[in-house]
Structures are given as C-alpha cells and as structure tokens.
Amino acid sequence: MKTIQAYRYALDLTPGQERNVLAHAGAARVAHNWALARVKAVMDQRTAERSYGVPEELLTPSLSWSLAGLRKAWNGAKPEVAPWWGEVSKEAFNTGLDAVARALKHWVDSRKGVRAGRPVGFPRFKSRRRTTPSVRFTTGAIRVEPDRMHAVLPRLGRLKLRESARKLARRLDNGTARIMSATVRRDGGRWHVSFTVEVERADRAPARPDSVIGVDVGIKHLAVLSTGELVDNPRHLAAARQRMRALGRALSRKTGPDRRIGRRPSARWERAAARLGRAHARVANLRRDGLHKLTTRLATTHGTVVVEDLNVTGMLAHRRLAQHITDAGFAEIRRQLAYKASWNGGRLLVADRWYPSSKTCSACGAVKTKLALHERVYECEACGVAYDRDRNAARNLAALAAEFDTAGSGPVAARGADQKTRVRGQVAVKREPGTASAGQTRTVPPQGRTTDRVLTKAH
C-alpha cells in the first residue's frame, strides 16, 4: 500500500546556516507579497475599468493565478524586484508563489461553494515578524547522509540533525520510500526539517483483528473506552498556565514593536517573546506526544474503532469549556485514528453527529429525550441500571459496529440521522475516509443489545 508520510526531525544549525535558512525564508516571503500585490493590482485595475464602461475585450489583460502563470510573471520581474535572486535557491521563490496560488484557489472555491468548511477569505500579505519562517524544496539534491545524522538540501548544504534518521534511511536503502519534498520551518525557536515521503507500506493486521472498541472523548477523561478503561486527560495547557501568565506579564513590561510610530522591539522583548514561544511549543509537543501514543495503541490493537462525529466548532462556543476542549484535541484524535487504522489494516467507523450515544441505554436500548450535561451518571428508567455517562456512550459506540456489519448492504443515507433525538429510530454509521468503502454513510435498523445488564453504579 502506497501512502504519503512525513518524517520530521529537529535541526542543529550553526549561526551561518541559520542566517542562510532565514534568507531563503525571506525570499519566499518577498515572492509571496509581490505576487499577491500584482494580483490585487490587476484585479483593482480591471474593476475600475469596468466602472468606466470599458468593454471586456479592452480591459487590462488578466494575470493567471496558477503556479506556472505566477512563476512566469516572477521570472520577468525578479531582476528589478529582487536583484539578489541568484544568492538563494529558486525553490525559495517557488515556495512563496505556490502559497499564493493555493490561497487564491481556496478563496475562489470557497466563494463558489466547492470547498467545504469555513469560508476562506482573500489572501493576506506576510509580515516579516509575524510570519513563521519556512521554505520548501521539491527539486535538487535532497537526501539523508549515510551516517543518518545529517541531511543535504539544495543551497543549504549539509545540515546536522538532533536525532538519528535511521527509520527513514532504512526505507530509502530498501527502496520502499521516495523523498518528494523537504520543508525547513522554525517552530518555538527550534528549526525542523520535514521530509514528505511516498512510502510503500507492508500489509499489517491489528493484534486483535476481531476486537471492537468504542471511544468516547471528553474533558475529565481524555478518552473513555468501551472496555471500561479510563484515559486521563493530562491538561498540559492548564498545568503550564501559571508559567505562561508570568512570561506574558514579563513580556508586556518590555519595549515591543509599534508599527504606528515605526518602533522596533528591544532585545529584551525579543528574548522574552522567545521564552513565551518556547513555553507554548512545549505544551503543543506534550499534547502531540500523548495523542500519538493513545491513537497508535488503539489502531495497532483493535480491528475496529468507533468514534463520534463531534461538532468541535460548535462546542468551542461554550465560553467555559472552549479552552479545555482545545487543550484536549478532540479533532486531532479522530484525524490520527483515520490514517493509523488504515495503515494497520483496521477500520474506523464514525457515528453520526446526531446519534444519541449518551442518551441511549447500552443494555436495553431505551433512549432518553433529554440528558443534562451535569448528569454524569446515566440511570435507565426502563431497566433500572446505572452507568457512568461516558462509559455508557462508549459501549453504545462499540455496539454500532455490529449494526453496521449487519446492514452492510443497506441503503445509503444522504444525511445519516435526524437532529431530534428519537426513542426508536435508525442508527447511522459511516466509514472514515482512507478505509474501505470510504465516505459511505448507511442507515442501520436498531438491533438487540447483547451486553450484560448487571453493572455496578459508577462513582
């Protein structure tokens, strides 16, 4: 199975190499801002000419928004715009032009309704201070040295890695991987190189292919599994909040930049900003590490993983829970499970957004019309048993896998489920993209539950 995979390594750059990388990132920013200014100028000129009544055939010629068109225009203007263009790699300018071409395409697709998700606005110019330095290489000498501690990139030369690249080097030596591009980027004051690799992955199977597990994510516990296991939420952002507040107050006392009067930041402000950035990067790294360990364990152990299709954007409207939801990373858990399940030969099933997993009794199937958020124990009025709310939801999610298999040849639903909670209705499950029969949403008639009804009340 061929797939696109990224290998990311931290770099140990010398001062000279760091200046060289920053020069390439600056060149990408210059090309980006020039192309965007050129596009805006042509658009404004054509709009003004139309307001004057100029016929369409006499308007200023339009500028192609494709990467090839922008590159052709840049090659004609770069001797005047960037007379130093020969000092950096051509891939630096291609990075900025490609960003403009992609942003314009996303803007047009969003206006036409072709692109899903939030509306995309018109591209903005990149600031030297607020933009993350980044440059992408797609051609030239891109390789990992035989010692596996150095990488070679065009014009940047031999860069030292902080850790061994043996995993990537083994695949390259065996001929099961091919480097497509390399991106050098600065995150949290540290430089990283990311190799985008086309990998030929061997067929794998989970440790328990017939195992089905439901995963209910939350704030008190990061994940509650249908097996009864509770995965604690480490709350990295809350743990580092006190230190971040202190660093933020220290930064506010320094002389920062002011574009209104042209004031440049002081050296102390830059050092304080770097300390605050490293603190944020540490929280992000800790969160990423925990989520990867959890999703890898689930994908490599169980053959079927069932999760919910949560409206994370809508949940963030809750002002008291928004910060805790973003700290947990609900959407990242689903994203990682999607591709890891495919890599390990499993499948990921996503319950419909309106499926009442928390309101349904996992023993008898009775559904409550309302269940307040503060009710942490589910008490069934039909059979009288009591469950922990999250554990009950996880058991209901796990039961959906059997219903999906039973109705595997059933009709395809356009929406999946109604918004209103139904006492007796149909259940919708869909496969996550990347697995077999990706994108299919099927309505499944309710099946009888086979779970044990004798459960103790959770405390």
Catalytic residue set? 216, 308, 390
CA separation for the pair 138, 183 (Å, rounded) = 9
Among 22, 347, 388, which residue's Cα sits nearest to residue 229?
388
Query: C-alpha angle 278/137/342, rounded to 5°?
Result: 75
Q: List, as one string, the DSSP characters of 411-434.
A: PBPSS-S-SS--SS--EEEEEPBT
Which residues are 151's β-sheet partners? 144, 159
Among 218, 248, 240, which residue's Cα sits nearest to residue 324?
218
**Alpha carbon 89 to its chain's center:** 29
Count the Cβ atoms, other than its own, within 10 Å of residue 44.
11
Count the Cβ atoms, other than its own, within 10 Å of residue 167.
11
CA separation for the pair 152, 214 (Å, rounded) = 44
CA separation for the pair 14, 24 (Å, rounded) = 15
Tokens in use for 268?
């102390």
Q: Which amino acid is at 182?
A: A
Distances (CA, A) of 227 to 99, 335, 340, 350, 384: 45, 22, 20, 18, 21
Which residues are 429's β-sheet partners? 351, 442
Tokens in use for 451?
């779970």
Q: What is the bridge-based pairing of β-strands 347-351 and 302-308?
A: parallel
**Alpha carbon 200 to its chain's center:** 23
CA separation for the pair 270, 267 (Å, rounded) = 5
Q: Which amino acid is at 298?
A: L
Tokens in use for 194?
């990311």
